[in-house]
Amino acid sequence: MRCRPRHTRAAVLGAALLLAGCGAAPHKTAATSTATAGQPAPRCSGRPTIAETEGPYFKAGSPARTSLLQTGMRGTRLVLTGRVLTTRCAPVAGALLDFWQADASGSYDNSGYRLRGHQLTDAGGRFRLTTVVPGEYPGRTQHIHVKVRAPGKPELTTQLYLPGEPGNEQDAIFDPSLLMQVRDAGSGKVATFDFVLG
């Protein structure tokens, strides 16, 4: 069964309480990167990527895969590339990234693993995720959840956002340091984001 938050007042209040119960960490960062997928290359600031709430829909045991696309899946295709870096801007090879997100309608799959998957960075610390642009759901702007694990580093749980979305400013968890760089590419979008592990 897939879980889609209901658009009732009670559901919105419930969502607000959930969000209030797991608010974003207040510290800021500016994760930045190298060129990937034809995107411009922001510099690495070396400041750790901020942590944000895991939220209610994380599910352990996601499959290893770099594409979350499945036959019949609706939505705008999104290819996200980037790197996992140290605070000295060195690449972290073999870091595990575990992604999960809502579908284009704002629904999470809480019984299976639709739009959930993990992968490891390559020798250059790089990753590549093919997915769809997530939809909004009550109380939340569009976002992609991720956990990043690397040996000798504390686990990072955070969320990524799309620039220019009207919902960003209404979302109490949204943080501009977690914006992906996004541009249109054909009928889809390409995005970049580098994680810096503290």
Binding region for Fe ion (CB under 5 A): 55
Which two tokens mark 44? 């690495």
- Sign for the pseudo-dihedral over CA of 163, 169, 173, 175: positive
Which C-beta is closer to Fe ion: that of 46 or that of 55?
55
* Nearest-angstrom CA–CA distance, 52 and 43: 23
Which C-beta is closer to Fe ion: that of 55 or that of 188?
55
The Cα-based distances of 78 to 11, 154, 195 in angstroms read: 29, 28, 18
Compute how many other C-beta atoms are within 10 angstroms of the C-beta atom of residue 186.
Answer: 7
* Nearest-angstrom CA–CA distance, 95 and 171: 29
Minimum distance from CB of 119 to Fe ion (Å)? 19
* Nearest-angstrom CA–CA distance, 134 and 131: 9
Minimum distance from CB of 79 to Fe ion (Å)? 20
Which C-beta is closer to Fe ion: that of 171 or that of 194?
171
Which C-beta is closer to Fe ion: that of 91 or that of 139?
139
* Nearest-angstrom CA–CA distance, 80 and 77: 10
Minimum distance from CB of 140 to Fe ion (Å)? 6
Minimum distance from CB of 154 to Fe ion (Å)? 22
Minimum distance from CB of 169 to Fe ion (Å)? 17
Which C-beta is closer to Fe ion: that of 85 or that of 129?
129
Nearest-CB residue for Fe ion: 55
Q: Coil, strand or helix: which one is 168? A: helix
